[in-house]
Amino acid sequence: MKLAMPQLLTLTCALAHFRLAHSYTSIIARGRSASFHRLFTAVTESELAKDSGSNSNNNEESSSIYAREADALSKIKSPFLQTLRDRGFLHQCTGITELDAKLCEGTQAAYLGFDATADSLHVGSLLQIMILRHLQKSGHKPIVLVGGGTTKVGDPTGKDESRAMLTEEAIQKNIEGISSVFQKFLVFGDTNPTDAVTVNNDDWLSELKYLQFLRDYGTHFTINRMLSFESVKQRLAREAPLSFLEFNYMILQAYDFLELYRRYNTILQLGGSDQWGNMVSGTELGRRIEGAQLFALTAPLMTTSDGKKMGKTANGAVWLNSSKLSEYDYWQFWRNTADDDVVKFLKLFTELPLEQIAELEKLQGADINKAKIVLADEATALLHGKECLPVIHETVKTMFAGSGESTESLPRVVVKATDLEKGMRLADIFVDLGLASTKKEARRLIQGGGARLGDSKKLEDESAMLTLADFGDSKEITLRAGKKRAGVVEFK
């Protein structure tokens, strides 16, 4: 019987109803882990230890490479690794010395994977995109892997429950949405060796034959090893169901690396530290199947100085697509950076020379705001272009001066005069403008006194309506959320 990948996914989805968490944890809880390993393992314990990788130590939470490999890092010669080292991008690497030597030989291909779970990436993905940019500027070839295939399975990393199953149409729409961002940071083409390329893992995953895939590659993965990955251990420790479908994700990610090595001679996978176990599995699969020396390199997961995950705010995700977040709001996100994060973010999310950043680091007290403006300008220019900055600066000046001038860079919704005659609920408009992520949040904003209509009218009634009378002689009116966020309602 031969099953192609679409049939494989159908079968796997059916098997997804078999939950791994309770059966695994009950076995371990009864102290039978040794017999469990003997039952499911396909390799010896000594081989397992050998396969763990030079720096993995079978532990995704191992200490930073800056502490463990200080001597090796001081001797690296490749411009790419030097840049990552000096700007704080490094966390783990399988053989940093060997990778450095390989990168010094000439142009090498490296890839980063992005699943299509939404129609835009958010700022949490920006660190990885910056790494690809530094890779290309250092003379190497970036490969952007969009997960058209793996999105159908769903990455369980950091999740307490299975991801929602997306349709083919939704996945394709999301791929189109996220792909546009890469064009702003990388040079794509087929002329130069360093030209970036975008590939979709659905191109090969959908062609796999299920039984043949199991026979060819299944013996290279052991259940006991897979259970040791931090992403799996955390899920099992919380006794959260882990489906068979999700359990396959790490195998498919490892196979992606093998396929990219075959197609593009890709030797390096880049990613976040939460992907370490899956990435090391890819290097091992390449060694076992092709005898290839492959490498995995991770960056730390980004958190702010107060311990919060990078990319989220009280108002929701900080999206990279301007259709989901205006240039002005993106600029304000960086402008509102905490004092303790400014220097770190200047190193990671701008291309300012380190010498210039060192000068900005000397600023104290209120002068730190000057560094924050530099950060906001540089980060916004990379994503949206320098041409948007004058308008943003004028809008900021207007917001604080109350001059009622330019609102060009503010988020905007257009409504019909007929709708205003009936009245439109202001809480709903706050959501439409992105000034609140939900209607409940908008009502809280109004109740807390943080919402204003125009420059002065404070909103107090959460059921208040916007009408034609509120516009006076103007065709537009500004809604404000706090002191620094605003949007415009325009009627036609």
List, for residues 221-272, the tens digit of each pLDDT value. Answer: 878 787 777 767 777 777 667 777 777 888 899 999 999 999 999 999 999 9
Return d(Cα 123, Cα 129) in angstroms, integer.
Answer: 10
Looking at mean pLDDT, say which of 53-67, 140-154, 443-457 comes out highest.
140-154
Residue 490: which region, alpha, beta or left (left: phi > 0; alpha: psi -120 to 50)?
Answer: beta
Residue 44 pLDDT: 32
Give the closest residue to 91 by CA, choosing from 125, 67, 121.
67
Residue carrying the six token digits 């104290």 = 364
Average pLDDT over residues 5-9: 52
Q: Is the dihedral of CA 343, 345, 347, 349 positive or negative?
A: negative
Q: 315 or 342: whose pLDDT is higher?
A: 342
A 10 A CB-CB count for 42 gives 14
Tens-place pLDDT, residues 415-428: 887 778 778 888 88
Residue 39 pLDDT: 29
pLDDT confidence tier of residue 35, bands split at 50, 70 and 90: very low
Name the burial class of residue 280, with classes exposed (0-12), middle (13-18) and buried (19+) by CB atoms within 10 angstroms of its CB.
buried
Tens-place pLDDT, residues 66-77: 888 999 999 999
pLDDT confidence tier of residue 311, bands split at 50, 70 and 90: low
List the Cα angle 190/291/142 in 5-degree steps.
25
pLDDT confidence tier of residue 166, bands split at 50, 70 and 90: confident
Average pLDDT over residues 463-486: 80
Give the closest residue to 159 by CA, choosing from 59, 243, 46.
243
Give the closest residue to 424 by CA, choosing from 469, 460, 456.
469
Residue 38 pLDDT: 33
Residue 15 pLDDT: 46
Give the closest residue to 451 by CA, choosing from 437, 466, 435, 440.
435
- pLDDT at residue 376 greater than cutoff 90: yes
Give the closest residue to 476 by CA, choosing from 463, 462, 490, 466.
490
- pLDDT at residue 60 greater than cutoff 60: no
pLDDT confidence tier of residue 312, bands split at 50, 70 and 90: low
- pLDDT at residue 194 greater than cutoff 90: yes
> For a pLDDT cut of 90, what percent of the chain falls above it?
43
- pLDDT at residue 5 greater than cutoff 50: yes
Average pLDDT over residues 458-471: 83
- pLDDT at residue 11 greater than cutoff 60: no
Beta bridge partners of 113: 145
Residue 56 pLDDT: 40
Average pLDDT over residues 80-89: 97
The β-bridge relationship of strands 451-453 and 476-481 is: antiparallel
pLDDT confidence tier of residue 158, bands split at 50, 70 and 90: low
Return d(Cα 334, Cα 375) in angstroms, integer.
Answer: 6
**How many residues can be counted in the chain?**
492
Residue carrying the six token digits 């393992």 = 41
Read off the pTM.
Answer: 0.73
Residue 97 pLDDT: 96
List the Cα angle 61/178/151 in 5-degree steps.
60
Query: Are 488 and 411 spatial neighbours (Cβ–Cβ below 8 Å)?
Result: yes
- pLDDT at residue 21 greater than cutoff 60: no
Mean pLDDT over all residues of the chain? 81
Sorted by sequence, the CB contacts under 8 Å of residue 342 that are 6+ apart come out as 360, 368, 371, 372, 375
Indicate the DSSP class of residue 476: E
The β-bridge relationship of strands 295-299 and 266-272 is: parallel
Residue ranges of domains in the chain, CATH in brackets:
5-299 (3.40.50.620), 326-401 (1.10.240.10), 412-491 (3.10.290.10)
